[in-house]
Structure 1
């Protein structure tokens, strides 16, 4: 499900207003997904979503393409665009898209905000010196003192060392794994498992990531809001493991990491309970105090001056007088200045505009009250519920902000409206899948929120516990054993009349229903017991006869039980795969052996996939001709080469850089010595792989006028075909890879061309596109291609094509969710394969001519048995958590590689016997009797490996 667009700023500023009108136009068109707009507008999803993002003014060409795709009036919108550009071009601002506030309000500075970070030069120099002298440093200060800004815009923003920054959250080991995975290119799942098993592994991963950097390079590991380790992380063991991992990474022999912690000063005592942090809390400590009057003047005046604004001297003096030497005043000053900037007169920030905001002491409360006043009664109740959820109650410390998953809040119109309004007022921040208060200053300085927090803190604690337990219940598929009982249920019962989410209410209602059912069952048991005494004597005589019948029925009942149990365990194995792969593999194998059904076989294959992690979406994959290399192309502009010398343990061999945008396609030449890559930057690049660990660029092919979606080598190695959003297929003579020659361009498609594929004899080329056609071309002489057939029948866009191994069939798939098999020998109706529930994105035939694999947006890969007269679905493989963009078989057919939007490529064993062997390779530790009994009650303990 696509994520909702970020809310736009309120007010009548030109950029948000322009973006708001674009969004209204899209709404009037029925809110088509950006993927569909991209196909109609011939611009990428990112370009179109940025156009309505409200941060920069899109180009006129992008604007008109967006408007046409939504059915708007291009002429009227061209005038609207020119008027907006005029409004965004004040004196001194040549680039209308560059207009941005000089102040950040409640938001902390990021690494990209160094040009607006002033007033901390002396403190930054002290911090840099401390980091040079000590490998473990703690930056302490009161809430609002500017710790986060110093760490991000100051320390990490200097660029003197590669840096990884993150906050611990509720699962610090997981957060660490995610950030280091993005930095290293490794699998986040694998890193999480590795760091959990051995916290010292962080040190080794850092060294591995820096192996290709110049000698002496060190990684700066910045953990901001370290107090979340105590306010959000409830697992003491994970807290200890995380601190151990950080301190070991900083202090181990041959360490290449320097760790800096940002900690609120009132959590000093909590940190002191961990002796390993003593170096940071002692000699490695940096204290962040309030700005001096001189520093405060710099923080006020210099950001404005850098953006060519002026601040009235009387306003500067007033701000300094109101806020100098006041701890925690920085976010209030920044918020007041941002609101003043919105009310500026020309290029000047004036006292009059500042007084309209309410000043340092009242600007934040006034903003919050203004947002709250705009809500109706249901929205006000929801705003209270949301803001209370976003506050962590202090235990001997001040209340702090709490980051929550978006899924913790109901997806209703009321919730969305409140989130949009609070985000637009910059009171909260919605980032991907999380929501949090923008700054703790809101908790401290908005009287209404303070009143809510003081009203019934014990009820808030009970509710917070209920929320967490409801999430656990949901994650365990509503396991009745996790429901509240007894005293806990009695305490939670008091929340029944309060504002709960649907999940929380369902959890509480389920507990109350279970209690009611238990009481009813107890009453029934009492009545039945009395009746049982009367019947017992009568039943005794019938026992002998019943025994014989029971023995016959036992076998049937046992078989039925095993079938149901095996299916349940197989499904649970898939769910366990990310967190406990060893147990998941053993459960899947045991379930398959208990009942070797097709569904259990698919679960076994899915449970032993090998993930190859990437920092962004993976769009394509290709095996080398000998099966020892795998190339993956991703949205991070990179192509990665993996060694499959040991297929069970792929190793990253090289990362190819050169493209300036997402890479959509990758293909090896038949000899395996050249790799072709192409993507959104409109170029095709050829790479010399004679030394696969050090690929060298041979040539750059240009000519396409829009994104290149796919490419294919002819099996004879003479020709390369490329398909593009510019409605064309281009042919290239690549017999001399360093000097490719452009051949004729195929131009009969009426819209974007998504797919190309050559027949096994290199004489036919198939192309498919957004005009819903598949076209067959005779390219026996590539210099004189001839269109041979136009295949029609798809009811929506064609995304993928593939030739069978004998060349007699071409398969196609696309947005109509079908796969169609067309004979190439003459006109005939295609066979239609239905099963996918969303767009079919990729097709591949197996080398043994037995299978056709199809991948789709429905997160699945399907294997079709094409040996039958009527092809039939044989397997459905699930493992990706996002759309599957690509599927391909290894040359020997034993492996299947897939690429997905979930930032991973997966390697699958296609043979159940090989999948079983793979399961036993990773079955460490072996399943215990206790685990066996939990999943296979009543079945004899038989570890599968």
Structure 2
């Protein structure tokens, strides 16, 4: 065989040869007479043999049948060349394609999923079918090829006894079962939906009849789970799939760094940090979206690099992570024909909406595309820029909206058109969710909308939206006809009345009748108008919540006051649970807000030279106004020193220091005529004031009554000192672009510090060890201070120039020119966002929360978010309040808060047996004093409350993987369900511990105990219905087995305190089951509001409310006011999915996909009252007219 040209090719040849002859690593080590670790390094391509080990390596190559006597010299020369050039030429990153079976050494980061998959293959009982489920692009194909086959079936792998066979869905139809032990791998199983019904049936027959010596692994796109569930014989295999889900930061770090090491290069620590930061730029990274981009970006970075280390410069030279989207989109656009390219514009504009000043994604039905547009969409789907899911089409990632320059240009040209589309979309949604009631229609606007939709270049709208427009037009015509008929009727009555004018009594009766009839019609019209206005206000509130949460909250309160219905209740709760700030309006222009450390006094300097002072920090009170006569103010810098409250004020006509200790008193004015002062800072008792001519004035106020002027500092250029800050040893001034001027405490100039762009804002940490700098280059820098030296610790990338910064200790607050404040931790991970409409000019922190000022003149106070727990990268799955304890299920097991104690302190949970940690299985009794969870090594761990934490009560060893744990409310019984195995093992708590009492014949797809633990409901063994069983001290006894109406598949179960059973289904329906006679369960009511598969059901402790979370991340709440529960709330979190929820003591507890657990108001009236107490200045009539045209002006809070 010819010698390879690179280390990568060498590794591939050795792997193929090793697989062909079945050579294990230990055997290879024995042949070469080297340690096993050395042989493994050779075989995986991690390192080459040293010259002294060349004879042993050649022996191994001969054993692999790669080297012969004839080509031994050529191989030796090739290895020598590789050794001299340790860097492998080809990239170890595969770009957009998946890893192949021969690239197993490069496939990293999915070890958790691979271990679970190998374990499932080893333990699965006949029929041996394992489902692997994940989003498109999440790495399923790589896991199956490089992981399962490449590693699992390698000679020393756990599945080495199996012969791997890869097959497509269609190839399975004619597949002949081999006689030897086989691993059958079927990727992209979603292609099942492309088969005819008879073909699909044949394929299911083939899979369900696989002999015992065949283990089948199926890769399935998460969007196609419903297709498989409709195949009744395959549905049970989805009860416990191997999920290819989110990755941890450590796993992303492996994906970034390990492949490069295999090919001879390192990845710099700075580059890893930048990549991790960029991955989190749009929230917690979805592997299905970012993994292909990350691999493609690293491939280009590798090709751009020239040294032995991949650096940040290489990364930036290759375009960065999200910039690659523009290249990919342009490539797809360029590949289309000239006649297809105009269709791209129409398609993309159909998939976006303009929300105030933000661009958002929307989905459209795939079936609404014309035949000409389908191949255009498919081209973008193939490049993963668009996603086709559940017959809907959407832009795959938000980043495309800002990174594809062509799309941005189209949006700017068609912004007015997009605003019309947004209004149609939202109005249709409200109408549809409201049961398509007539009061949700908008006949006045419908004619304009119809003309807009019929235009050739109009964005595509859905069937529902067409129906909404048609229904609105029909309603308008009906109103016109009714009005005309009423006018005709009135005219006839008038003529009749005139004809019998002599009969006074009759005339009076007719008049009375007409008055009553008119009043009834007027009342009906007023009611309909109020409902329509409330819907309109709720619609606009939802539209603007992500851009102006205060205005959104005010509209939500007004909508709820006009009419209380599920939409208005939900809108006001979503606003109350979000980021709505208190706002104080002021004069448009620079708004500088400041609070001195250690003080409650809030200051605001405005564009008219006024300084507003709130001495108690209460922004709802009238401030004390100080007229500085300084023109527009650019800096307000307070300090509390020696019991005196001093403030530097810098502006167009002022460079002054004021004493605000009691009443406002100017201590001195140092402004130079015609010279604007732009920045200010304190260094001890010295006031520093920077002006527009590159000068920093210094005024010593050691004695405030006798200020002394020191020699000014000169930055060396006649440019504005845009920002100032200081430590006891160092003064930092931003002068010209790309530099910070530094001075020591004596005023001696030090060497400049280089920075990107023009620094617009500076802030120093309270301990003086760090400086935060905001730059016009869309960056912020965290600088470490060591005496008079600076060093960059971290860079934060922003979407726009950073005009305001505030160092918050463990976090930083960054205000951009596009009107948003981002709060991030020290590693760059964004933890919170504060949306604003205009340029952020200042940020400060008071005792009540974060304060911001904007160029619109608005001062905003942002109270802390109602966060119960933030897990810093660990996924949160569920939340419950049990007996005063908030039990939060995380990917690392239980976290428990004591909700009865001030501050809700966290209760301790003992480390798991063996110390490996816990899995996300957590069950609790009704008091929260007993918990059941599972350790990562498979043990079921029972915990009991003892003092300020939990202690281990008992450990139950399990031999198979647990997929479900359920405790009875009374804490006496435990049910354990296992992966791919029918039956729940039932345990009972006795005087000597937990003992098994029997097995419930049910599929582990959901189980629930009633309040006293005597009854249990669970998914039936065939996965198509449910069973009801009596639970006693002996084995459970099935009393009844039933199906849901229309034979839908159940997905969630819950008992009410009174004993009613609620069963959720994959179609989003909920059935209420009467179990007064457990042997004859029957449905008494059904609700179908959710329209999406339900994951969890939960009754409130009083049983008056039923909560459901759906796979789409929404929360639905029904109120039990009659036999059929009535929809009360539909909560859609603006930026995260809701994984679990509970409603206790008027609080709505939510477990969110952004790794937080929060508490929102659960009652709309209480939410509205809460908002009204903290919203500040109400909307003006002008603002109202812009936001809600046609709706009479009102203040929802008065």
Larger helix percent? 1
Q: Which has the higher contact order (CA 8 A, sep 6+)?
A: 1
- The structure with the largest strand share of the pair is 2
